C-alpha cells in the first residue's frame, strides 16, 4: 500500500509540475508552490525529487515518453501515413486547449542555457522522438526519399512548434489552426 501511495504522490507531482512547466517553463517551477498545489509538504516533495533538476528531469522524460506513446498510438489507429501526418499538429494543439499552455519541451528549449545538463538531455529527447516519427511517417507516405526525410521532419517540427508559440503569444488558438493550414497549403507536408 505504501508503494502505491508513493506512486500516486509521485504521479500527482509530475502531473502538476508538467502543467506548471507548460505555462512557466523550468524557471517557473517553484517547488514550494508545487507542494502546495499537490497538497503535500515541501519535505515530501524532496523525498520524491531531491532537487529541482531531478524533478525537471523526471517531468521532461515522462513528457517525451508520453509523446512517443501518443505518436505510436496515432500510427496504430491510422493505417494511412498521410492521415497520421494530417493529425500530427493536434498533438501540439492540445496544450493550447489547456489554458493556453505550450509544449513543455518547447518552453524549456527557450531556457536551454539555464537548464542543468540532465534536463537538457531529456528535453532534446522530445524533439528527437518527434522528428524520428515524422521522418518515418513521411517516408511511409511517399512524401520524401529517405535521404531527405530528416530534413523535412525538422522543418515540420519547427513549423508546428512555432505556430504553437505564435498562437500562445496572441492567446488565439484559431491562429494556430490558420498557420497549420498555411503550412499545408505551402506544401510543407502532404495534405
Domain coordinates in residue numbering, the chain: 57-185
C-alpha cell recorded at residue 164: 504553437
Hey, is 37 helix, strand or coil?
A: helix
Q: How far apart are CA 152 and CA 139, in angstroms?
A: 10
Q: Percent helix, strand and coil across the chain, each rounded to 5?
A: 80, 0, 20
The CATH superfamily assigned to 57-185 is Tetracycline Repressor, domain 2 (1.10.357.10)
Biggest CA-to-CA distance, the chain: 55
In the chain, count H helices and then E strands.
Answer: 9, 0
Residue 57 has pLDDT above 90, yes or no: yes
Predicted pLDDT at 6: 53
Which pTM value belongs to this model? 0.90
pLDDT level of residue 191 (50, 70, 90 thresholds) = confident
Amino acid at each position: 500500500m505504501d508503494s502505491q501511495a508513493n506512486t500516486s504522490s509521485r504521479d500527482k507531482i509530475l502531473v502538476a509540475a508538467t502543467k506548471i512547466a507548460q505555462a512557466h517553463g523550468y524557471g517557473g517551477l517553484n517547488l514550494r508552490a508545487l507542494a502546495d498545489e499537490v497538497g503535500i509538504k515541501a519535505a515530501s516533495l524532496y523525498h520524491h525529487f531531491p532537487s529541482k533538476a531531478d524533478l525537471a528531469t523526471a517531468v521532461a522524460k515522462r513528457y517525451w515518453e508520453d509523446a512517443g506513446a501518443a505518436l505510436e498510438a496515432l500510427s496504430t489507429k491510422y493505417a494511412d501515413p498521410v492521415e497520421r501526418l494530417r493529425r500530427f499538429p493536434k498533438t501540439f494543439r492540445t496544450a493550447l486547449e489547456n489554458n493556453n499552455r505550450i509544449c513543455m519541451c518547447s518552453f524549456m528549449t527557450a531556457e536551454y542555457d539555464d537548464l542543468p545538463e540532465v534536463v537538457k538531455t531529456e528535453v532534446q529527447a522530445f524533439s528527437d522522438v518527434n522528428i524520428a516519427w515524422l521522418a518515418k511517417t513521411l517516408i511511409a507516405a511517399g512524401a520524401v526519399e529517405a535521404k531527405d526525410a530528416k530534413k523535412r521532419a525538422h522543418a515540420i517540427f519547427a513549423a508546428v512548434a512555432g505556430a504553437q508559440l505564435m498562437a500562445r503569444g496572441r492567446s488565439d488558438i484559431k491562429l494556430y489552426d490558420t498557420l497549420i493550414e498555411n503550412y499545408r497549403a505551402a506544401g510543407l507536408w502532404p495534405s
